[in-house]
Amino acid sequence: AQTVTQSQPEMSVQEAETVTLSCTYDTSESDYYLFWYKQPPSRQMILVIRQEAYKQQNATENRFSVNFQKAAKSFSLKISDSQLGDAAMYFCAYRSAIRGGSNYKLTFGKGTLLTVNP
């Protein structure tokens, strides 16, 4: 079974600074997707960024980028120019891309609570 580990329960960053959230995962599969979700106080789950394991290039979405290290099974999220609205719980998630298996299940880490200080 796949597992996702987020070793930082809480992180804080100054507004306009950069912060990196860590995520490691364990899988025996070679084809999969990785995600970062944001959960603000409203509790709505918002997809921040997605990475396909077969792609070597790291995904980027505006101020959000990832550092995907497949061999190390590491998937960190970098938030540049942090804004007050970035304050939220961030979840790392894994999803298999293997056909015929349980490739619809998202497996989540326990989350990292990000505080942005003005």
Partner 1 sequence: NAGVMQNPRHLVRRRGQEARLRCSPMKGHSHVYWYRQLPEEGLKFMVYLQKENIIDESGMPKERFSAEFPKEGPSILRIQQVVRGDSAAYFCASSVTGGSSYEQYFGPGTRLTVT
Interaction of residue 44 with partner 1, rule CB under 8 A: yes
DSSP-derived secondary structure letter, 102 = S
User: Among residues 80 and 97, whose Cβ is nearest to partner 1?
Assistant: 97
Are 49 and 77 in contact, with CB atoms under 8 Å apart?
yes
CB of 54 vs partner 1, minimal distance in Å: 12
Query: Using CB under 8 A, which residues numbered 2 to 21 contact partner 1?
Result: 4
Interaction of residue 36 with partner 1, rule CB under 8 A: no
Q: Round to whole Å and give the CA distance between 53 and 96.
A: 10
Are 13 and 117 in contact, with CB atoms under 8 Å apart?
yes
**Quick count: other Cβ atoms within 10 Å of Cβ 29?**
13
Interaction of residue 104 with partner 1, rule CB under 8 A: yes
How many residues at the interface with partner 1, by CB under 8 A? 26
Q: Provide the residue type at 104 as one letter.
A: Y
Where does this chain bind partner 1 (CB under 8 A)? 4, 33, 42-47, 50, 91, 93, 95-99, 102-111
